[in-house]
Amino acid sequence: MKIFTIIPASGLGQRFGSSVPKQLLHIDDEVILEKTHRIFDIEVIHKIYIAVNRVVLDLLLPLKKNFCPKSEFILCGGDNRSDTVKNALKMIANEVGEEDWVIVHDAVRPYLTSSQLSNYIDQTLKTDHGSIMAVPCVDTVKEVNGSMQITSTIDRNKIWLAHTPQMFPYNILLKALENFPGNPTDESQALEYAGFKPVVIKGPADNKKITFPEDLA
């Protein structure tokens, strides 16, 4: 059994408002994507695939020396995140066996530690259909209508905020993404639609995704 990692890194970061894709901006004196991929440079991970489009690949190639030996840039960026992940899964099909697992992780979620990742993997391998890392909602949650009027208060005890990593058996994940009608907001949504039951594993609250400039503060 092998574990592969896919880091979809084709986004151009329109919401961030930068002329440079946000995964290539600097944090703690290194490129965000370099910091993110290093989380997965642990013994249990067989290969780290960084899925990019041509624009990002051209910007990344001069930085290749900063990436670990088990990492590989693959040119498979799609029109959206789910297409990029699906394309990557198909590209690595010849390297993956029936018993292998895949972890998908956001390129701009660099704050997880390798120790936290190892613990997450250990827990996930005990599941049937995989898992997502998530955090429980601690705020009061309101549902509103189109006029922003409050229509209900949702029981926050049932609400978890989905993060990455998300880890699933390779065959299940690929099939679920291929059969999902449209673009799932994350990989687990495709598995839910297909009838699988991935579980939630509590992650650290500081495993934040860099989405806006203030997230770098």
Q: What tens digit of pLDDT does each residue of 64-121 get?
A: 999 999 999 999 989 899 999 999 999 999 999 989 999 999 999 999 999 999 999 9
Domain limits of the chain? Answer: 3-216
Provide the percentage of residues in the chain whose pLDDT is more than 70.
Answer: 96
Q: Confidence band (pLDDT; 50, 70, 90) for 17?
A: low
Mean pLDDT value across residues 182-192? 96
Q: pTM for the complete prediction?
A: 0.94
Amino acid 212: pLDDT: 78
Helix (H, G, I), strand (E, B) or coil at 104: strand
Contact in structure between 6 and 74 (CB atoms under 8 Å): no
CA distance linking residue 159 with residue 147, whole number of Å: 24
CA distances 132 to 76, 106, 121, 136, 145, Å, are 24, 12, 10, 12, 29
CA distance linking residue 5 with residue 44, whole number of Å: 11
Contact in structure between 124 and 44 (CB atoms under 8 Å): no
**In terms of C-beta distances under 8 Å and separation of at least 24 residues, what long-range contacts does 60-67 make, across chains too?**
60/24, 60/33, 63/31, 63/34, 66/30, 66/31, 66/34, 67/34, 67/37
The CA-based angle 136-207-33, given to 5 degrees, is 150
Residue type at position 68:
C
Six-digit token string for 69: 């030996």
Q: Confidence band (pLDDT; 50, 70, 90) for 215?
A: confident
Contact in structure between 93 and 4 (CB atoms under 8 Å): no
When the candidates are 3.40.50.10190, 3.90.550.10, 3.40.50.1980, 3.20.20.10, the CATH number that belongs to 3-216 is 3.90.550.10
